[in-house]
Amino acid sequence: MSSQLLPSTAPRAGFALWQLGFRPFYLFASIFTALSVGLWALQFTGRLGRPYLAGPVWHAHEMLFGFTLAVVVGFLFTAGRNWSNQPTPTGWPLAALALLWVAGRVLVLTPYGWAAALVNAAFPAAAAIALAVPFWRAGVRRNYFFVGLLLVMSGAVLATHLQQLGIIALPGWVGIQIGLDTVLFILAVMGGRVIPMFTNNGIPGAGATRNQWVERAALGSTLAVMAADVLRPDGMPLVLVAATCALAHAIRWSLWRPWRTLRTPLVWVLHLAYLWIPVHLVLRSVAQFGLVAPSRAAHALTVGAIGGLIIGMMTRTARGHTARPLRADAWDVACYTLVSLAAFVRVALPLAFPQLLHEAVGASALLWSAGFGLYAVRYWPVLTRARLDGKPG
C-alpha cells in the first residue's frame, strides 16, 4: 500500500503526544477497543477472576464510557481550542486526564466498585470543567451545551455504577441508555455541523445543503427520544417518537447529497456512518412490536453510527491537525471498510439469519478489532510526533 502519511522530508523530532487532546485519546481509545475483544473473551473463560463489572454490563460500559467517551473528549478538546481561540488541556493536565481515563478502565476489572464508580464519573466531569474554562474566557455561549452533555455523561455513568452497587434501583440499563442517547445527540449536532461542510469542501459542486426546519426537527426529536428513555413510555409513544426522529434524520442525510461522495473515502465514510442513525431509530420502533431484538437497534447505533463516525473523524482530525493531506490512503480505506463491515455483519446478518447470531458476533468483533487496531498501528507515529509544519498542536 502506498503511503500518504509519510512526508517527503522527515518529521520534526520530538514527542508530541501531550500537545493536543486528540493525540492521547485517539491513540489510547483505538488500542483499548482493539484489545477489548480479548478482554471480553477472558471474562467468558473466567481468567480475570471476579471483576466488579463483568459480562454484558462491562461490555456496554466500556464501549460507551470507555472507548466512545475518550474519543468525544479528545475531539472536543481539539475543536474547543478552535471554537474559543483559547488553550485546552495540554502537557501534564492532559496527561493527568488520560491517566484518570486509564484508571477507570483498570478499576472496573477489580473488585473495588466504589473506586471504579468515582473514577469513571470523575473523568467526564473533569473534562467538562476543562472545556468550560476556555469557553467561559472566550464567551462562546453557543457551545456551552457540550459542557452540559459531558456532565450528563458523568451522571449517567454514576447512575450505572450506583445501580450495580445496589445503592439505587433503576429499571433496566437506564444509565447506559441515557449515555447512548447523549452520544447520539452529540453525533447529531456535530454531524450536522461538519458533514455538509466537509462534503462541499472536499467535492466541488456536491451541493450539500441544510434546512433550518429539518435541523430543528432532527435535533428536537433526538432530545424527545432521550426524554422518552427517561420517562420510559414503552409501546406506541416510543414508536412514534423514534419513527419521527428516524424520518427527520433520513431527510437531513438526503439533503447532504451522499450519492456524490462515492469517490471520496474521507467523506463517504461519514455519510455511510450517519445513515445508521435512522436505521437505529427504525429498529428501535420495530423492536417495540417484538419483531427484532433490541440489541439489533443498539448495535446499529454503537457499531454502525458511533464506530463509523469515530473512525472517519479520527483519521480526518489526525491528518488535519498534524498538517498532513486531507486524503484517505489505502490504509484509511481499509479501516473504514473493516469497521463498516463490522456494523453490517453485527446488525444485518442476524436479521436475515437468526441462527447465525454467534457467528455474526464473533466475525463483527474481529472486523472491529482489525479496523481500530490498524488505525492504532498506522497512526501511532502521527499522533506521537510533532506537526509537519512545526506549529503547536
Buried b / exposed e across 185-206, counting CB within 10 Å, b at 16+?
bbbbbbbbebbbebbbebbeeb
State mean pLDDT over 154-179.
92
pLDDT, one tens digit per residue, over 247-260 is 999 999 999 999 99
Show Cβ contacts of residue 289 under 8 Å, excluding neighbours closer than 6 positions: 239
Smallest CA-to-CA distance from 53 within 118, 103, 109 is with 109
Smallest CA-to-CA distance from 22 within 254, 234, 310 is with 310
Which of 126-130, 169-173, 387-391 is predicted most confidently?
A: 126-130
Q: 9 falls in which pLDDT band (50, 70, 90)?
A: very low
HEC per residue, the chain: CCCCCCCCCCCCCCECCCCCCHHHHHHHHHHHHHHHHHHHHHHHHCCCCCCCCCHHHHHHHHHHHHHHHHHHHHHHHHHHHHHHCCCCCCHHHHHHHHHHHHHHHHHCCCCCHHHHHHHHHHHHHHHHHHHHHHHHHHCCHHHHHHHHHHHHHHHHHHHHHHHHCCCCCCCCCHHHHHHHHHHHHHHHHHHHHHHHHHHHHHCCCCCCCCCHHHHHHHHHHHHHHHHHHHHCCCCHHHHHHHHHHHHHHHHHHHHCCHHHCCCCHHHHHHHHHHHHHHHHHHHHHHHCCCCCCHHHHHHHHHHHHHHHHHHHHHHHHHHHCCCCCCCCCHHHHHHHHHHHHHHHHHHHHHHHCHHHHHHHHHHHHHHHHHHHHHHHHHHHHHHHECCCCCCCC
pTM as predicted: 0.93
Q: Which of 3-7, 200-204, 288-292 has the lowest mean pLDDT?
A: 3-7
Query: At residue 12, does pLDDT exceed 80?
Result: no
Q: Which of 52-56, 152-156, 196-200 has the lowest mean pLDDT?
A: 52-56
State mean pLDDT over 136-150.
94
State mean pLDDT over 152-156.
97
Query: At residue 79, does pLDDT exceed 60?
Result: yes
Q: Which of 9-18, 59-68, 129-138 has the lowest mean pLDDT?
A: 9-18
State mean pLDDT over 2-26.
70
The amino acid sitting at 205 is G
State mean pLDDT over 264-284.
97
Query: At residue 13, does pLDDT exceed 70?
Result: no
State mean pLDDT over 151-159.
97
Q: What is the pLDDT of residue 292?
A: 92
Query: At residue 4, does pLDDT exceed 50?
Result: no
Q: What is the pLDDT of residue 41?
A: 60
Domain layout of the chain by residue ranges: 13-170, 196-383
Q: What is the pLDDT of residue 90?
A: 96
Query: At residue 5, does pLDDT exceed 90?
Result: no
Q: What is the mean pLDDT of the chain?
A: 92
pLDDT, one tens digit per residue, over 282-303 is 999 999 988 999 999 999 999 9
Confirm if 53 and 116 have CB atoms less than 8 A apart: yes
State mean pLDDT over 327-350.
97
Q: What is the pLDDT of residue 171?
A: 81
